[in-house]
Amino acid sequence: MSINLEGEPISDPPVSSSNITSGEQSLEQSAAAITDNKQSQMAESDTQNKLPAAPSKWEITRSILRETIETIVLAVILIFLMQLVIRNFRVDGRSMEPNLQHGQYLVVDKISYKLPFDIRPPRRGDVIVFVPPNYPNKDFVKRIIALPGDKVEIRNGDVYVNGELLPNTFNARLDHSSKATLTVPEGELYVMGDNRSHSNDSRNWGTLDIDQVVGKAWLSYWPPKSWGLIPSDASINSASLQSLFSGR
């Protein structure tokens, strides 16, 4: 109770019970909100610290199967693409001795001669794999001796191209055969084996259509002692790794 200036008592205003109740409810709601916030933070912390569940056997099996299938598909695609560019070839017979031996394996470059603008056209001395006109179901390997437009003549084993003696830089085994002068037609090649007396080549069946060429013999990879590039102007043995390392 209060007293005014005139000394008369003044009664205090009554406190409403509803105000007390509202205040208590507000305190309770604030406490509940704080509790809920703490519980939420604890739940998030537990979720972050919880380790992921181990995958089931089915999930592991499915993952392995998927990776295996992807690897197989990728391998098939790579093999297909490689077959468009290169192929392997097994030498059959003695026609290219002493440079290529029976049973020797080669990598054939199938793309170089087909590049646009004649970036790498056939050259004299190139060793090529082709389908011969008289054996359509078999591949041969020979050496290019003359190109379209060249005049070829063989005198007692010596080969003349455009009137000049062809140097035997690739160590061919010459014979004593002779052939009259022949002009190689456009789009064709004149090919011969390095082992002249044991070779079925252009001396027997004429010039070779360039479209029948499979590709250029690029690399020898088997047997290991013969591993190396196949040059156009030197013996193949001189370009093998064994020869290079031995200094011969």
Decide: helix, strand or coil at residue 94: coil
- Supply 86's token pair: 């290169």
Contact 153, 180 (CB under 8 A): yes
Annotated active-site positions, please?
Answer: 95, 142
Neighbour count for residue 115 (Cβ, 10 Å): 10
* CA–CA distance, 209 with 67 (Å, rounded to integer): 46
* CA–CA distance, 241 with 219 (Å, rounded to integer): 11
Note the helical H segments in the chain: 17-49, 57-85, 202-205, 241-246
Decide: helix, strand or coil at residue 114: helix
Contact 221, 227 (CB under 8 A): yes
In sequence order, what are the beta bridge partners of 151?
183
Sign of CA dihedral 112, 97, 200, 164: positive
* CA–CA distance, 72 with 61 (Å, rounded to integer): 17
The separation between the first and the last C-alpha atoms of the chain, rounded to the nearest angstrom, is 127
* CA–CA distance, 210 with 204 (Å, rounded to integer): 17
